[in-house]
């Protein structure tokens, strides 16, 4: 993977007020991206287990991906699901986040010294209120068509930039994306699928597959207005998930990441206010967008999962048959965010922040259910407010492809004007829809799947022998 164009180190800078705030926002942006991948990787340990099964499988309630001196990571509770991965892997949740990020980076550009376009950035830092200016790059936003193309390639071939398989494909995404009409009009296909398919209990489908990829929207909209962030999140969410609950969750989730990085969301009350704005925007604007489903939104249902008194126990994250409900994932992230705000102290240093990030994510994944998706979303929120120093070293150093992801975070910070250095997405082969590797044929994919199945069976056989 060519990261050569990122080789220019940041210029030395004094800790002026502007540089301090640039550094703070850069740290939060990077931590949000890495935090979602770390949450995803840790959540894989208990995905699809119940809370009681999680406690039995991991009685010490601690997960280690890397140790010093280097040692083996915490082993998976081995079954046919986890045998498909290695410890430290992220899953389809992070892959789909990357589809959004790479689509954005592909058309982004920052010349050495800045593009000359200034964004006036508000400062929200405790009692201080003001603004500072940064030079930002060329930043076209990704479209629904861009995401649809990348989803179609991922479903067939996996994440080409890293040459990985499309593991964890959800039923809704698979059926919608594989439709012969998907690339022509993805929102129409998604809306039609939602209309004609219902869950066993008679409710329309509202799974979390669009929410899981929404965090990068908040990052790429850092200099956009909150309403612009709402709109892009709704547009990209509807590419696969038409249900109003899914759209509202994407709107709120993206805007939370944006507000946390900017420092506008600093308390539980700020979280509540933003959720209210997101719901109102959807009722007044989002429900009238092209491709929107004309269906009433139950506001009480939203607040049942994200209210200020909601707990992880209230969410019933391992509830049989309902673990993938979008409001459960939204609620999981909001509950952890409120907890983090409630525990925060001015004297917190890196050790306290890392302990808090690890403890909160661990508490969440020990609830089981769709743990990787829940922790992926929650990790993005915690990273966005706590910054890089909160990411546990023994997780970050054990994340597979972690250095590659850090490189993309650097690229994002550069085009946003938060770090010095140049970047041209067109020259970054990773950002191309095919990852610079080409599209695999059906025969090539069939062989990869056969080899993969063989390795998985060997893992399971080794477990049975032990």
Collapsed DSSP state (helix, strand, coil) of residue 122: strand
DSSP state of 287: G
C-alpha 273 chain-centroid distance: 22
Phi, psi for 413 (deg, rounded to 5): -65, -35
Residue 248 contacts residue 297 (beta carbons within 8 Å): yes
Q: Is 383 exposed, middle or buried (0-12, 13-18, 19+ CB in 10 A)?
A: buried
Closest CA to 166 of 180, 151, 179: 151
Distance, CA of 349 to CA of 225 (rounded, Å)? 32
Q: Which long-range contacts (CB under 8 A, 24 or more apart) does 264-269 make?
A: 264/122, 264/124, 265/385, 266/124, 266/341, 266/385, 267/341, 268/308, 268/338, 268/341, 268/342
Question: For the CA atoms of the chain, what is the radius of gyration?
Answer: 21
Closest CA to 253 of 359, 389, 353, 379: 379
Closest CA to 266 of 385, 132, 121: 385
Q: Is 370 annotated as ligand-binding?
A: yes
Q: How many residues does the chain have?
A: 466
Cross-strand pairs, 22: none
Distance, CA of 461 to CA of 277 (rounded, Å)? 53
Q: Is 310 annotated as ligand-binding?
A: no
**First CA to last CA distance, the chain:** 38
Residue 76 contacts residue 82 (beta carbons within 8 Å): yes
DSSP state of 320: T
Q: Is 24 annotated as ligand-binding?
A: no
Distance, CA of 87 to CA of 71 (rounded, Å)? 12
* Tokens linked to 351: 């050790």
* Tokens linked to 377: 């979303």
Collapsed DSSP state (helix, strand, coil) of residue 381: helix
DSSP string, 200-253: TTSPBP-BSTTGGG-HHHHHHTTTS-HHHHHHHHHHHHTTT---HHHHHHHHHH
Give the residue ranges of the annotated binding site for Mg(2+): 370, 372-373
Binding residues: 370, 372-373
């Amino acid at each position: 993977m060519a990261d050569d164009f990122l080789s220019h180190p940041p210029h030395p800078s004094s800790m002026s007020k502007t540089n301090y705030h640039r550094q703070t926002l850069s740290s939060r942006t990077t931590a949000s991206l890495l935090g979602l991948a770390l949450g995803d990787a840790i959540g894989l340990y208990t995905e699809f287990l119940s809370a009681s099964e999680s406690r039995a499988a991991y009685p010490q309630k601690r997960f280690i991906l890397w140790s010093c001196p280097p040692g083996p990571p915490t082993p998976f509770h081995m079954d046919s699901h986890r045998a498909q991965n290695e410890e430290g892997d992220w899953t389809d949740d992070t892959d789909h986040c990357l589809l959004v990020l790479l689509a954005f980076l592909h058309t982004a550009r920052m010349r050495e010294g800045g593009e000359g376009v200034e964004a006036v950035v508000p400062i929200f830092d405790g009692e201080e209120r003001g603004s500072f200016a940064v030079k930002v790059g060329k930043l076209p936003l990704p479209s629904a068509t861009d995401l649809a193309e990348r989803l179609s390639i991922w479903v067939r071939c996996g994440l080409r930039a890293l040459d990985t398989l499309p593991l964890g494909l959800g039923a809704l995404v698979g059926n919608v994306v594989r439709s012969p009409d998907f690339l022509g009009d993805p929102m129409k296909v998604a809306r039609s699928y939602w209309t004609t398919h219902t869950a066993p209990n008679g409710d329309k489908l509202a799974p979390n597959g669009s929410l899981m990829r929404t965090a990068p929207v908040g990052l790429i909209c850092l200099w956009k207005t909150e309403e612009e962030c709402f709109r892009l999140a709704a547009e990209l969410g509807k590419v696969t998930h038409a249900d109003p609950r899914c759209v509202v969750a994407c709107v709120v989730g993206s805007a939370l990441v944006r507000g946390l990085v900017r420092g506008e969301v600093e308390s539980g009350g700020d979280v509540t206010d933003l959720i209210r704005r997101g719901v109102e925007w959807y009722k007044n604007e989002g429900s009238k967008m092209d491709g929107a489903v004309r269906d009433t939104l139950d506001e009480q249902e939203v607040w049942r999962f994200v209210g200020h008194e909601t707990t992880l126990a209230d969410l019933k994250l391992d509830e049989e048959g309902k673990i993938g409900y979008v409001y459960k994932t939204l609620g999981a992230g909001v509950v952890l965010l409120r907890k983090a705000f409630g525990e925060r102290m001015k004297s917190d240093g890196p050790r306290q922040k890392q302990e808090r990030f690890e403890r909160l994510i661990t508490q969440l994944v020990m609830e089981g259910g769709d743990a990787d998706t829940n922790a992926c979303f929650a990790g993005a929120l915690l990273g966005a407010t706590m910054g890089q120093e909160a990411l546990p070293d023994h997780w970050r150093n054990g994340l597979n492809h972690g250095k590659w992801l850090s490189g993309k975070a650097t690229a994002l910070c550069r085009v946003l004007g938060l770090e010095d250095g140049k970047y041209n997405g067109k020259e970054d082969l990773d950002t191309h829809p095919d990852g610079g590797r080409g599209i695999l044929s059906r025969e090539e994919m069939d062989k990869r799947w056969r080899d993969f199945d063989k390795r998985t069976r060997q893992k399971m056989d080794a477990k049975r022998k032990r």
